[in-house]
A and B are shown apart, each in its own frame.
Chain A
Amino acid sequence: QSVLTQPPSVSGAPGQRVTISCTGSSSNVGAGYDVHWYQQLPGTAPKLLIYRNTNRPSGVPDRFSGSKSGTSASLAITGLQAEDEAEYYCQSYDSSLSGSVVFGGGTRLTVL
């Protein structure tokens, strides 16, 4: 079980909007630590998608956005495209047990 909880899968039709949740606790997201998101296409390394809750690295389309509130964060993807089909991971820091970088279990996005 991952420290950060994500739904195993989400799906949407092209052009639709989907959201992926990332639920933590008072020792990580709820403690004010930033949440970051990564996209992993099949057979490739993860790629930074959103950093520090809401920021997009250069080159990431503005169809991707992030938000954070309380002990949860969300990734939203609008105008869904076939190439968005991938695994998405959230990541934060946890202050319990001597401190550790923690990842969510990942969410598989299927574009119908």
Chain B
Amino acid sequence: QVQLQESGPGLVKPSQTLSLTCTVSGGSTSSGGYYWSWIRQLPGKGLEWIGYIYYSGSTYYNPSLKSLVTISLATSKNQFSLILSSMTAADTAVYYCARGKVQGNYFDYWGQGTLVTVSS
């Protein structure tokens, strides 16, 4: 059974950079066929795709966030990470990591999510 677990700070100051890590167990980030993904959910709102990375290192980002986002892969640790710069209060959200299937482009396993609050 594939499991994903997000880790990182729960509180970030405005204008700072957020760094989150997702640790994968029961599956390998170095195997093909999957996108390693970040998705967020603003309070009381719907889901917003942030981006994903393929095992080869190719990245794909939401055009509306592209200039602020970097997703990287650490296959030796079976982890992938999200960096989101210039955080504002509007970025307060629950951040999920998820495994995406390349064939079909859907998310079959999700982490439990981590709440990140942007506040001074």
Is chain B found bound to chain A in the same assembly? yes
Residues of A bordering B, CB below 8 Å: 2, 33-34, 36, 38, 44-48, 51-52, 57, 89, 91-93, 97-106
Chain A CB within 8 A of B26 CB: no
**CB proximity of A75 to chain B, nearest CB, Å:** 14
Task: State A10–B111 Cα separation when bound (angstroms).
Answer: 27
Instruction: Pick the contact of A45: B66, B100, B105, B110 (CB < 8 A).
Output: B110
Q: What are 13 A-B residue pairs whose CB atoms fall within 8 Å in the complex?
A: A34-B105, A38-B47, A44-B112, A48-B108, A51-B104, A89-B46, A91-B47, A93-B105, A98-B66, A100-B62, A101-B105, A103-B48, A106-B46
Chain B residue with Cβ nearest A2: B46
Given A36-B104, A36-B106, A51-B108, check contact A45 B46 (CB 8 Å).
no
Instruction: Pick the contact of B96: A33, A45, A48, A52 (CB < 8 A).
Output: A45
**CB proximity of A68 to chain B, nearest CB, Å:** 13
Question: Which residue of B60, B96, B110 has the most chain A CB atoms within 10 A of its CB atom?
Answer: B110
Residues of B bordering A, CB below 8 Å: 46-49, 52, 60, 62-63, 66, 96, 100-101, 104-113
What residues on B are CB-neighbors of A34 within 8 Å?
104-106
Task: State A101–B110 Cα separation when bound (angstroms).
Answer: 16
Q: Decide: A104 and B112 in contact? CB cutoff 8 A.
A: no
Q: Decide: B47 and A106 in contact? CB cutoff 8 A.
A: yes
Q: Decide: B112 and A89 in contact? CB cutoff 8 A.
A: no
Task: State A101–B38 Cα separation when bound (angstroms).
Answer: 11
Q: Decide: B110 and A47 in contact? CB cutoff 8 A.
A: yes
**CB proximity of A28 to chain B, nearest CB, Å:** 11
Chain B residue with Cβ nearest A92: B105
Q: Decide: B110 and A100 in contact? CB cutoff 8 A.
A: no
Task: State A38–B108 Cα separation when bound (angstroms).
Answer: 9
What residues on B are CB-neighbors of A36 within 8 Å?
104, 106-107
What residues on B are CB-neighbors of A51 within 8 Å?
101, 104, 106, 108
Q: Decide: B49 and A101 in contact? CB cutoff 8 A.
A: yes
**CB proximity of A88 to chain B, nearest CB, Å:** 11
**CB proximity of A53 to chain B, nearest CB, Å:** 9
